[in-house]
Structure 1
Amino acid sequence: MTETLPTFRVHFHDGTSMDIEAGNSLIAEARARKERPGSFVKKIKLVREVRS
């Protein structure tokens, strides 16, 4: 049985957001900061339904 990682939606102060699969919200934030250096994270939410 394989378990999938939860998806987190990371929102930035400029109004953009990105979905990241990670073990927890801190890991999701770290990955988002790597992809968007210099951007400020506003909030992180657990996604219950993935965008299609």
Structure 2
Amino acid sequence: MYVGVPNNIDSFDKFENNGITVYVKKGTPSVNGTLTITVGAFLWFEKLMVEGMI
């Protein structure tokens, strides 16, 4: 996972929610074609969590 906009943006799908933008490489294998991306927090740390990626 990288922070920032990818150089070859045409190779990625873009998803936005609550001010967060996530780029997922087109064709990324997933369970039933679904990825779930959530934000988790612990103390002062925040992280993106991805479920469903094969």
The answer, yes or no, to whether TM exceeds 0.5 is no
Select the structure that is richer in helix.
Answer: 1
Select the structure that is richer in strand.
Answer: 2
- Higher relative contact order, chain-length normalized (CA < 8 Å, sep 6+): 1
Structure showing greater radius of gyration is: 2
**TM (normalized to structure 1)?**
0.33
